[in-house]
Amino acid sequence: MMKKSILLLLVFSMVLSAFLMGCSPKEEPTDTPPTDEPGDEPGDEVTGPPSEPMGQIIVGNTTEMSGDWVPYWQNIASEYDIYNFITDYPTVAMTFDGEYLINDTVVASHEVIENEDGSKTYEYTIKDGLVWDDGTPITAKDYVATVLLWSSNVVKEMGAGNTYGQRYVGYKAYGDGEAKEFEGVRLLDDMKFSVTIDAAYLPYYFELGLVSVSPTKISFWTDDTVEVLDDGNGAYFSDNFTKENFEENIDKARSAIPRPSCGPYVLKSFDESTKTAVLEVNDKYVGDHNGQKPLIKTVIYKLVNEETQMDELATGSVDLLLGMASGSEINAGLDLVESGGFNFTKYPRAGYGKLAFVGDFGPTQFVEVRQAIAHLLDRNEFARSFTEGFGSVVNGPYGEALWFYQETKAELNEKLNQYPYSLEKAIELLEEGGWVYDENGNEYESGIRYKKLDDGTLMPLVIQWSSSGNEVSELLTIQLVENPDLAAAGMKIEETVMDFPELVNYLQRNSIEDPKYGVPTYGMFNLASNFNPIYDQSNYYEPGHPWNTSYSTDEKLDELAKAIVLTDPEDREGFKQKFVDFIVRWNELLPELPLYSNIYHDFYNDKLVDYDMNALIRVSDALLYAYVTE
């Protein structure tokens, strides 16, 4: 999540790698043929998919939308879903199995050039005939505009993450506003452009992901006077592209409807009061990398209440519920399926629920406090209570669906601190960390512990917790906050409940939205992260980076995080070993406390057919291959 992540996961090459850390408050979060699911009975009439888009599907999600439709300020999972419904035509596509490949629907031809300085250039020629939903032709300028806009100092100064082209030659000079041209991005002719990966980021384990670029209609964000130019030294915007000229336009464009679409759907409306978005088929869309076009005419995406969402599914207020994570949700859904008329798809999660700590403010800046909290929460019992058997405890930033975790699980279990429940160990850690005083500076005996800081002041062991007031929050209150051993350890946690967009603003210290968010206020947040197949942690632990929302300053952790992806794509074992090294250090410092990774369940009305969801794709991908029977 940038200073505006995503906990998006999580979450276009840089967006593929770092934005794909989506955030979801409920834990607060192509080639595979459709599979049969429970509820399909022998003898059911099979009519097959329609020849033209028909019907509608109502998708329910407990993640509240704010109406910010691009993942550069806030990367809220539900809004990222909308973004993917209306954004497509990448130069590199991903299959349902997580394989990256050149998108032949978009790319007429491409060339890979290995340069003498160790950098690597991908040169693309875009196919004729691709258009925006209004019929405007899509050209190479639209692809170059994406990298220029979302790498620019203009959006950075507006509080957005500007790291889209961060792995390309010349990024730093361009992103900092020191250079007009972006050296590693070239506009070669009307339908041809190139991007050059900096040698410093090669080898890169997910190399094709670095060179995936989708188009942006720059006139929507600015006006018709801004041009994409290239005089031979790199692409650039015309001189009138400044914050002074276009800050208001860009800010309005974040939530504007109508907005350009190059994806399977067009965003038609958003009801702020009900948090409901309506999408209609984009009749100009020519298909994904397989040429697949949408078969469902209308997608309605709405906020549902965690407590009543199954009732809404049962009564037809929604047709599809995404990512059911808790045991109570899942069991209620399975009961509904058993009653008839409903179906489900389950898949291991590529992510985890967590407590996120702040590492530069209040008690949680001290590792002993974070570790003590870990010992004061019985995570095995928490996972059992929440998932009711549909999940398990993890000890780092990963999820059950990730292949490299599955293949290193045994080694990790041997090397990682499991932080078993222990009041005695929590007290020992706090004493080692200097929490040995009472409020008057005397030796601690009872009540709240205090620590003497370098300036001589006393800090109380009181942690401010930002919560979205969901099922996980309620369980944390019972098993952690109200746990008598927390008080016995000399610690107190105070909860403040807020809506999820506000929680994200506090997490990311987004002073652009309101100066109050820029003031460090909360030391602990409960939310979740999901990953896509590009597991790139490079930005999340770099001191001062806008996506470092744990505000970690540990240089070794940052170095280990960056090292994972700087691996030859053929070196599978090397990639896994670097992953283990990073997780071991992470587990020691505990910038977050993982709570569980679970088996997601999507429940839906059985009028939805061929819905083949998995942890690596988005709901926009799954629905593209599905259809409804009325």
Q: Which domain holds residue 292?
A: 265-348+600-628
Which of 10, 272, 353 has the alpha carbon at shortest distance from 161?
Answer: 10
Residues 457 and 552 in one domain: yes
Reported as a pLDDT band with limits 50, 70 and 90, residue 28 is very low
**Does residue 69 belong to any structural domain of this protein?**
no
Reported as a single tens digit per residue, the pLDDT across 533-563 is 899 999 999 999 888 999 999 999 999 999 9
Query: Is residue 305 domain-shared with residue 171, that is, in the same domain?
Result: no
Neighbouring C-alpha atoms within 13 Å toward the C-beta of 233: 5
Shared-domain flag, residues 438 and 547: yes
Do you find a cis peptide bond into 258, omega within 30 degrees of 0? yes
* Residue 139 predicted with pLDDT over 60: yes
Q: CA 504 to CA 1: how far, in whole Å?
A: 8
How high is the pLDDT of residue 512? 83
Q: Where are the beta strands (DSSP E) in 73-197?
A: 92-94, 100-102, 107-114, 120-126, 185-189, 192-197
Q: Report yes or no on 427 lying in a domain.
A: yes
Number of neighbouring beta carbons within 10 Å of residue 41: 8
CB-side neighbour CA atoms (13 Å) of 330: 19
Domain final residue pick, 251, 277, 292:
251
Q: Give the pLDDT mean for 63-69.
A: 93
Q: Provide the pLDDT for residue 6.
A: 33
Residues 594 and 609 in one domain: no
pLDDT band of residue 308 (cuts 50, 70, 90) is very high
Span 86-122, pLDDT tens digits: 999 999 999 999 999 999 999 999 999 999 999 999 9
Nearest-CA neighbor of 526 among 355, 275, 357?
355
In this structure, is the dihedral angle defined by the CA atoms of residues 92, 93, 97 and 98, taken in order, positive or negative? Answer: positive
Angle of the 367-375 helix axis to the 572-589 helix axis, nearest 10: 90
- Rounded Cα distance between 78 and 619, Å, is 10
Same domain for 409 and 317, yes or no, is no
Tokens representing residue 532 in the block: 């896509």
Enter the tokens of residue 136: 């405007």
Q: How far is CA 496 from the centre of its chain?
A: 24
Q: Is 180 contained in some domain?
A: yes
- The answer to whether residues 110 and 101 touch, using CB atoms and an 8 Å cutoff, is no
pLDDT in tens, 327-344: 999 999 999 999 999 999
Cα 98 to Cα 206, 232, 395, 403: the distances in Å are: 11, 36, 24, 11
Question: Both 383 and 512 in a single domain?
Answer: yes
CATH (domain of 622): 3.40.190.10
CA dihedral 117, 122, 125, 129 (to 10 degrees): -150
The answer to whether the CB of 615 falls within 8 A of the CB of 323 is: no
Half-sphere exposure of 175 (CA within 13 A, CB side): 18
Q: State residue 39's pLDDT score.
A: 35
How many Å separate Cα 18 from the centre of its chain?
7
CA count, 13 A, side-chain hemisphere, 55: 18
Number of domains making up the chain:
3
SS3 560: helix
Is there a domain that residue 321 lies in? Answer: yes
Q: 356 and 338, same structural domain?
A: no
**Rg of the Cα atoms in the chain:** 24
> Does residue 415 surpass a pLDDT of 80?
yes
Q: CA distances (Å), 384 to each of 326, 389, 393, 559, 598, in order?
A: 10, 6, 9, 35, 11
Same domain, 380 and 340: no
550 and 450 together in one domain? yes
**Which residue is associated with the tokens 């059985």?**
606
**Please, what is the average pLDDT of the chain?**
92
Residue 223 contacts by C-beta under 8 Å, 6 or more apart in sequence? Answer: 246, 249
Q: Is residue 66 part of a domain?
A: no
Residue 5 clears pLDDT 60, i.e. is over it: no
Q: Is residue 323 part of a domain?
A: yes
Same domain, 324 and 380: no
Instruction: Give the mean pLDDT of 21-45.
Output: 36
User: For 246-274, b where at least 16 C-beta lie within 10 A, e where not — what string?
Assistant: beeebeebbeeeebbbbbbbbbeebeeee
Q: Which amino acid is at 273?
A: S
> In terms of domains, do 457 and 578 share one?
yes
CATH number of the domain enclosing 517 = 3.10.105.10
Q: Residue 124 in contact with residue 91, Cβ under 8 Å?
A: yes
pLDDT interval class at 47 (50, 70, 90): low
Dig out the tokens for 175 from the structure.
Answer: 């992103």
Q: Is residue 41 part of a domain?
A: no
| Among candidate residues 216, 251, 286, the one where a domain is terminated | 251
Whether 358 and 224 map to the same domain: the answer is no
Task: Give percent above pLDDT 70 in the chain.
Answer: 93
Q: 529 or 191, which is more confident?
A: 191
State which of 251, 281, 305 marks the end of a domain: 251
* Among 19-28, 162-171, 418-427, 593-602, the least confident range: 19-28
Average pLDDT over residues 163-177: 97
Instruction: Check which CATH number belongs to the domain holding 207 and give it.
Output: 3.90.76.10
How far apart CA 614 and CA 598 sit, in angstroms, is 13
Q: Is 198 among the domain residues?
A: yes
Phi, psi of 126 (to 5 degrees): -85, 145
Length of the chain: 630
Q: How far is CA 489 from CA 110, 433, 439, 494, 595, in A?
A: 62, 13, 15, 15, 21
